[in-house]
Amino acid sequence: METERRKGARVSRLSAAEAKELWELRIQLEKLLTHHAVPAFQPEDLTRAKELIQAMSQERDPVAWLALNREFHDRLYRPSGRLRILRFANNQRNLIDRYLRMRLGVLQHYEIAQREHRNILAAYRRGNAALAVKRVEAHLQRTADSVVAFLAARMK
């Protein structure tokens, strides 16, 4: 939000450069969390993550879908035991939420995200941290690239 004296407040314009920078940091944080979380992932984490994927597959309201998505990612990373890093990653997600709402609302990429979520969870289920890290990175990078491209085109 931007404020100007005697003119009030307005929502700041979405910036492709800002989105790119936020995702660069988010990707690094979530790769680190994934690396530490996979070895500690428990059956109840897997069960809940599957339930969340199922719920997301039936949800088309961007705000509700994003709440489920946030819980899904949190379920993946919480077993890492890295609570400070998790808190920092959550702060990054808060900054990115408006970009994600735009991506889901405008570009309708639910199905792509769902396929990627299932692939990430499969790597977790197998206990393959290196593969899970690779898939988390690809998932977040694909999201970032689509939003940055959309914003860059819109600013021309």
Query: Which two tokens mark 104?
Result: 């889901």
Each domain of the chain, given as residue ranges in start order, spans 19-154
pLDDT, position 40:
98
Euclidean distance between CA atoms 60 and 68, whole angstroms: 11
What does pTM read for this prediction?
Answer: 0.87
pLDDT beneath 50, residues of the chain? 1-2, 10
Euclidean distance between CA atoms 2 and 124, whole angstroms: 41
Euclidean distance between CA atoms 152 and 100, whole angstroms: 15
CATH fit for domain 19-154, picks 1.20.120.530, 3.50.50.60, 3.40.50.300, 1.20.1440.230: 1.20.120.530
Instruction: With H, G, I as helix, E, B as strand and everything else as coil, classify residue 11.
Output: coil
Give the 3-state secondary structure of 47-66: HHHHHHHHHHHHCCCHHHHH
Task: Dump pLDDT digits (tens) for 39-78.
Answer: 999 999 999 999 999 999 999 888 898 899 999 999 999 9
